Structure 1
Amino acid sequence: MNDFQIILVGILVAVSCAILGCFLVLRKMAMVGDAISHAVLPGIVIAFLVVQRFDSIFMLIGAAILGVFTTLLIEFLHKQGKLQTDASIGVSFTSLFALGVILISVFASKVDLDAECVLFGEIAYVPLHVWHIDLGDGAILNLGAKAAWWIGSVLLIILFFVTIFYKEMLLTTFDPAFASAIGINVSVWHYSLMSLVSLATVAAFESVGAVLVLSFLVVPSATAYLLTTNFKKMLFLSCFIGIVVAILGYYTAAFLNASIAGSMTSVAGVIFALVFVFVRIKK
């Protein structure tokens, strides 16, 4: 049962990130995902100081605000400061992440969180944090891991958003100029995507950490990109690859008695390398 809950959380994170990752990779914004996954830390800390709970909607709101702010800051430094995009990303996420670390240090007695938790997480502890419902007369209903419900809810939001607004997201990804010409507000959909990336990040950070979130955001979608030029197929392929990575990564970690997040990230890299070699040979 514990194995199932860990794998389930890994799969939910993988699918959530893989869907968003397809848009990020095609928009050439993969490293913006890295920036957001680190920069949301101040928002998480401030939200926790206010509500004193991790399983709160205010955590998602705080992360979404910081995610959009990070994107605005990157664009401001790029356009107004005349910095290259990669330099703008580096300045933004390191500064905001450092601010989050300082806030954790200052309010250490009030914040049950540390930078290592945000970076690496610990998915092995997922089965220890479960939701119970007291049915009375000593009967307790176990609903399973909180992380699964939390990340599953964010996945539903992502699926709903992408399904309903698929046309707008597709047009603003492939041809923003044309989208703008026919009356679609490109900025709205850009910041909506950034908000969804922030939600996925904060929902997963405690369980799997920012490093694995970044891996799931980039590697499955990049691997799918090598295999197909059809966007719908890319979406499904990236989700499938993410699921395979979560499962194989977990059993690799169990076999080697190693870090689960590290094993999942390594398996993702191996799969990408194999696909890359296969595609090159096929050509």
Structure 2
Amino acid sequence: MSYEAWILIIGSMAGITCGVVGCFLILRKLSMLADAISHTVLLGIVLAFLISQSMNGLYMLIGAAAVGLLTAVFVQLLHSSGIQEDASIGVVFTFLFAIGVILITIFADNVHLDVDHALMGEIAFVPFDLVQIGFLPPLPKAFLMLASVLIINLVIIVLFYKEFKITSFDPQMAAAIGIPVLLIHYLLMGMVSITTVASFDSVGAILVVAMLIAPGASAYLLTNKLSVMLLLSAVFGVIAAVVGYYAASYIDASISGCMAMMNGIIFLLVFLFSPSKGILSKRLPQKKLHEQIGK
């Protein structure tokens, strides 16, 4: 498979994986928690490396999931103690992220694990980082990680679709009918954590937030049905990845940056022209009404 094809495939898979999980963050009004987890999982990656002395993707996912859950637990504890949620998120994520940066600079300075790579990522180099599994031909490590995480996320969503849906729209009702709301919440945080790590090589910790939030936010403006929202967010993620790649090639800019930018452009277009919730669509009936009144 060609170099360009791998970038398009991996970028699209990152868009799908992040977009689908991000829908539940949008519905739960936890967008900023995604930003926190996308930074604090850096600590999990460093700890996984220091303990295992290996860059194996499985160890990274385990470390990231553990620290992602720890982030959610700390935020919940501070919030339940009376501290505002945004302040709780700000305190926890800056503290854990700072520890991760310090550990990288002290203990992981001589390995391929640096702050710039973790923060920004670089999808242009991803097709060259190949691994061999059994009888399969050498495949990019990022592709295998994203494929594994995408399958895990889809299986979890299918198995717990009703629980995710009810807890996202009405957590009080969910608790009343016996659904473990907190357990579902931490399960989602674990999904966000491993999704973030799987997308690190493609877009890095900072830009992954755009892929987690923008596709779901765009889909939210177009439908009131969860299943359609999940599908639309995946489609928007793919469109942003593909168009972003060709835009980056045309203007000779960062590929991951252009992919994130396209997510913002798609959201802006939907925000303006959405048939039911778009700014221009809302103003058009008012304009017609004023014209009729004027007549």
Determine if the TM-score, normalized by the shorter chain, exceeds 0.5.
Answer: yes
TM-score of the pair, normalised by structure 2: 0.90
Q: For 2:222, give the aligned amino acid.
A: L
Residue pair 1:23, 1:173 contacting (<8 A) in 2 also? yes
- When structure 1 is superposed on structure 2, of 101-110 and 238-247 the one drifting more is 101-110
Report what 2:120 is aligned to: 120
1:85 matches 2:123: no
Using the alignment, how far apart are the partners of 1:195 and 1:134 within structure 2?
Answer: 29
Q: Which amino acid in 1 is paired with 2:4?
A: D
Deviations 1:146-168 (A, max 9, x none): 11011100000000000111011
Q: For residue 129 of structure 2, what is the aligned residue in structure 1? A: 129
Which of 258, 265, 286 is the aligned partner of 1:263?
Answer: 258
Counterpart contact for 2:122–2:204, Cα < 8 Å = yes
Is 1:10 matched with 2:11?
yes
Aligned length: 277
Which residue pairs with 1:280 in the alignment?
Answer: 279
Q: After superposing the two structures, state which structure 1 stretch, 52-61 or 170-179, moved more.
A: 52-61
C-alpha displacement of 1:133: 5.9
Alpha-carbon contact 1:55-1:150 (below 8 Å) kept? no
Partner of 2:47: 46
* Matching residue's letter, 2:132: H
CA drift at 1:111? 4.1
**Residue 243 of structure 2 aligns to which amino acid in structure 1?**
L
Residue identity matched to 2:281: K
**Residue 271 of structure 1, CA deviation:** 1.2
Q: Percent identity?
A: 48
Structure 1: which amino acid aligns with 2:26?
V
Contact 1:32–1:89 (Cα < 8 Å) also in 2: yes
What are the residue-to-residue correspondences of 1:30-109 with 2, within 5 Å? 30-80=31-81, 82-109=82-109
Counterpart in the other structure of 1:158: 153
Give runs of aligned pairs for residues 202-281 of structure 1, distance below 5 A: 202-278=197-273, 279-281=278-280
- For the residues of structure 1 that align with 2:271 and 2:133, how far apart are their CA atoms? 48
Q: Are the aligned partners of 2:57 and 2:145 in contact in 1 as well (CA < 8 Å)?
A: no
Deviates more, 1:109-118 or 1:93-102: 109-118
- Contact 1:42 1:97 survives alignment (8 Å): yes
Q: For structure 1, which segment, 221-230 or 126-135, has the greater mean C-alpha deviation from structure 2 after superposition?
A: 126-135
How far did 1:16 drift? 0.8
Contact 2:203/2:257 (8 A) holds in 1: no
Tell me the distance in 1 between the aligned counterparts of 2:177 and 2:5: 47
Which amino acid in structure 1 is aligned with residue 98 of structure 2? A
How many angstroms does 1:53 deviate by? 2.5
**CA drift at 1:57:** 1.6
Q: Name 2:287's counterpart in structure 1.
A: none
| 1:108 aligned partner, one-letter code | A
Kept after mapping to 1: 8 A contact 2:214/2:267: yes
Q: State the secondary structure of the residue aligned to 2:108.
A: coil
Which runs of 5 or more structure 1 residues have no equivalent in the other structure? Answer: 136-140
Q: TM-score, normalised by structure 1?
A: 0.94
CA contact (8 A) 1:104 1:111 kept: no
Query: Are residues 169 and 134 of structure 1, via their aligned partners in 2, closer, same or farther at CA, if it must alter by over 3 Å?
Result: closer
CA distance in 2 between partners of 1:203 and 1:29 (Å): 20
